[in-house]
Amino acid sequence: MPDQVASAPPTTVNLTIDGKSVSVPPGTLLIEAAKQSAIDIPSFCYYPGLALQGACRMCVVLIEKMPKLQTACTTVVTNGMVVHTANEEVKNARKAMLEFLLTNHPLDCPVCDKGGECELQDMVFTYGAAETRFLETKHHEEEKKFSNLVYYDRPRCILCYRCIRVCDEGMDVNAFGIGFRGGHSEIIPNQGEKLECEECGMCIDICPVGALTSGTYRYKTRPWELTYTGTICNHCGDGCKTTLSIRNNEIIRANNRDHSGINGEFLCAKGRFGWDFVNNENRVTAPRIRRDGKQEESTWEEALGTTVARLNDVITRHGANSVAVIGSNHTTNEENYLLSRFARTVLGTNNIDHHRTADFSSLVTALTQSHAVDRHATMQDLGEASSILLIGNNPTPQHPLLAYQIRQAVRQHRARLYIVNSADIKLRRQASLYVQVNPAGEGQALRALMGTQSPGPDMVVAGSASVGTLADELKAESDTIIIFGEEVRGETIGDLVRWGLALPGLTRFIALGDYANSRGAADMGLLPGNLPGYAALSDADARRHFETVWGTKLATQPGHDLRGILGGIQNGEIKALMVFGSNPVKTFNFDRSALRSVEFLVVADLFSTETAEVADVFLPATSFAEKPGTVTNTCGQVQAVKRTMRKPGTRSDLEIILALARQFGHPWPYQSPDDVLREIITNVRGYSIALPTLLLGGAVATSPEGNPPRLEREDLIFSSHDSLFTSGTLSRYSHALNSVEESKRPHDHIF
């Protein structure tokens, strides 16, 4: 071929498909080349990103000078190739493949669970072969229940092996195999009759037909009876886009079949099945007021009125700083922003904090001081990274999407993964270097890595790679993404950032916080020492800015942090407590009798939690599915949550805060969450978000900037170490998550 004469390797390959001339990079598969020029070549087993199979033969095309039809999914384009994808021979071949598939496939689309969204059904519709000449009897086999969440129906299975590959290559769980041979071949689970896995359900969504179905959705409804809304999962801090399917005001399922969002097709068990807490029968739908020791249902007016009266009373008798506020890791940015404003301007106290699962403040401080505020890596960056350093945490259960992105980077982009951890975490399988430190030794190892401390003798466990080797290898890398969990906090983060920025290339960082809006809680200032956007109270300019925006003076004295608040409750200094979407009794295992001793406790939540049970006023709040707003994932990417349904009797935290403010005599001008968001955009540093992107379902990266007070005490930062099937208190109300056997396994169990 002429192009071989050329010395330099060609940068593009030119070929002809159905008369169109197409040029693509060398190494492109014919099926992709066609797609790029808007020519559709049908396929079942071909799936971008997964291993090639050449099994379904749907993608056969005619390539001139080739003796027989070729599969476009396995053919790499070459210069001068002339391809026909729509001539009679090709059309007949496709028809034939479909006819073959239908010989043993039930022809009962109207009752099949997949009817209406089945690739085989669509294929037959588009390419023909509906009427079959098959007079023989079809193989019959009973449907199998692989687990409470995954069912398998062999007769419907077309053996495209997508499920197997997504489980092996995507999830690294390897739970599926193939049993028997020839026409008797079938997909088999790893535990005899049963499946033991992460229950992510990826196999269900990727199945083109009705072979694998969801235990929580199957035969409940028909796709065309549903309305779909894309929103953000409310569990972990990764922020997966999930499409909720709603039928008469009830969520029926969640999936991400359109591959939109930062997670593409990915969803973990929590994202796909764990939303059902929303429908849980224990949702509280009427306010409650404690009367002579017992909580009784009340009206919203009464509950809000009582709250304002009691708080006013405490403030007049003991002063504003006798009141404290605990915010949430799950509520929206708009709500957190208003809560911060409420505490400081309405109540007049800086006693506000939340359960901090990562030390975002120290990361922002360090980046600000190094003039590198834009060095936050996004989820997408991670998926394409070439070098990753992971310190602490166990992303597989705690950050399933992040773990998936790391595996993608390693598998698709041959990224090197460096791990420093005290546990034998699953991502070790992808690691090119694994430094196993002694329990809680991450910080120490890190300081040794940075040379701020000499490596202790027994710092790494026997047989582990040395910190020295790690240092050398990292110096040889570039554009490393550094990810760290609770183990790294306070000053260590400062050192890490300065050291990391000195590495070759564009080093970026991710701090791992547990929940859907852990990052947003910090960014929006649910902290005692700073206003929204890490604007330190001590920073006069920053403070004045918000004083003008909010039209009130602000106290400069930092308030109590969460441990301080709990201490204050114990020593009687804190007389009234407001808790929004948080369960400190459980999280901090705080003594309930002490909590009872406060003069007034108001709790806004979805369920009557350990904390809520002792409240004087309980305000039933709406869930993520019932209100609009934005949340910020652990990488600092802002995304919109949408109202998909209503829960009569409940009110959003935003509505609650606005109502309280009004009754306190602060008629704030906000008409809607959007008004609050606009205020955030103009006043929170690093949050100048492009609204259209957000409204179109995009994720907008932020680059907060500020000099908040240094970490008050290390024990403020701790993760709840959730498993694949838990997320703090919420998951206790998910029947689906609790229904799987695997949820009874120890948290660090590897599947």
Tell whether residue 158 is a contact of ligand SF4 (CB under 6 A): yes
The residue from 14, 26, 50, 55 that contacts another protein (CB under 8 A) is: 55
Q: Which is nearer to another protein, 69 or 681 (CB)?
A: 69
> Which of the listed partners (another protein, ligand SF4, none) does 209 bind, with a CB threshold of 5 to 8 Å by partner kind?
ligand SF4
Could you tell me the smallest distance in angstroms from the CB atom of residue 67 to ligand SF4? 30
Which residues ranging from 165 to 204 are in contact with another protein (CB under 8 A)? 174, 177-185, 188-190
Q: What is the 3-state secondary structure (H, E, C) of 6-23?
A: CCCCCCCEEEEECCEEEE
Strand ranges across the sheet with 576-580: 294-297, 288-291, 617-620, 600-605, 576-580, 323-326, 352-353
> Which of the listed partners (another protein, ligand SF4, none) does 212 bind, with a CB threshold of 5 to 8 Å by partner kind?
ligand SF4
CA Rg value for the chain: 28
Tell whether residue 56 is a contact of ligand SF4 (CB under 6 A): no
Q: Which is nearer to another protein, 152 or 550 (CB)?
A: 152
Q: What is the Cα–Cα distance from 59 to 129, expressed in whole angstroms?
A: 16
> Which of the listed partners (another protein, ligand SF4, none) does 54 bind, with a CB threshold of 5 to 8 Å by partner kind?
another protein
Q: Which is nearer to another protein, 60 or 460 (CB)?
A: 60
> Which of the listed partners (another protein, ligand SF4, none) does 157 bind, with a CB threshold of 5 to 8 Å by partner kind?
ligand SF4
Q: Report the candidate in 425, 424, 539, 446 with the shortest Cα–Cα distance to residue 491.
A: 446
Q: Which residues of 291-300 are buried (b: 16+ CB within 10 A; e: fewer)?
A: eeeebeebeb
Could you tell me the smallest distance in angstroms from the CB atom of residue 536 to ligand SF4? 54
Q: Which is nearer to another protein, 60 or 347 (CB)?
A: 60
| Token duo for residue 528 | 């005692």
H or E stretch including 657? helix 653-663
Binding piece for another protein, criterion CB under 8 A, among 17-25, 55-63, 486-494, 739-747: 55-63
Torsion of CA 50, 56, 59, 62, to 10 degrees: 130
Binding piece for ligand SF4, criterion CB under 6 A, among 103-111, 152-160, 243-251, 558-566: 152-160
| Token duo for residue 26 | 């060398």
Q: Which is nearer to another protein, 55 or 554 (CB)?
A: 55
Which residues ranging from 177 to 236 are in contact with ligand SF4 (CB under 6 A)? 187, 206-209, 211-212
Q: Which is nearer to another protein, 37 or 74 (CB)?
A: 74
Question: 470, 449 in Cβ contact below 8 A?
Answer: yes
Tell whether residue 294 is a contact of another protein (CB under 8 A): no
Tell whether residue 604 is a contact of ligand SF4 (CB under 6 A): no
Torsion of CA 314, 320, 323, 325, to 10 degrees: 140
> Which of the listed partners (another protein, ligand SF4, none) does 163 bind, with a CB threshold of 5 to 8 Å by partner kind?
ligand SF4
Backbone angles phi, psi at 182, to 5 degrees: 55, -135
Q: What is the Cα–Cα distance from 413 to 595, expressed in whole angstroms?
A: 52
Q: What is the Cα–Cα distance from 339 to 578, expressed in whole angstroms?
A: 10
Q: Which is nearer to ligand SF4, 165 or 575 (CB)?
A: 165
Binding piece for ligand SF4, criterion CB under 6 A, among 68-76, 158-166, 668-676, 729-737: 158-166
Question: 746, 724 in Cβ contact below 8 A?
Answer: no
Binding piece for another protein, criterion CB under 8 A, among 88-96, 141-149, 359-367, 730-738: 88-96
Q: How would you class 21 by CB atoms within 10 Å of its CB: exposed for 0-12, middle for 13-18, buried for 19 or more?
A: exposed
Tell whether residue 717 is a contact of ligand SF4 (CB under 6 A): no
Question: 225, 217 in Cβ contact below 8 A?
Answer: no
| Token duo for residue 56 | 């379904």
Q: Which residues pair with 433 in a beta bridge?
A: 418
Helix runs in 466-516, H state only: 467-476, 491-501
Which amino acid belongs to residue 427? L
Contact letters for another protein, residues 127-156 (x by CB under 8 A): ------xxxxx-------------------
- Residues within the interface to another protein (CB under 8 A): 52-58, 60, 68-69, 74, 92-93, 96-97, 99-101, 103-104, 133-137, 158-159, 174, 177-185, 188-190
- Residues within the interface to ligand SF4 (CB under 6 A): 157-163, 187, 206-209, 211-212
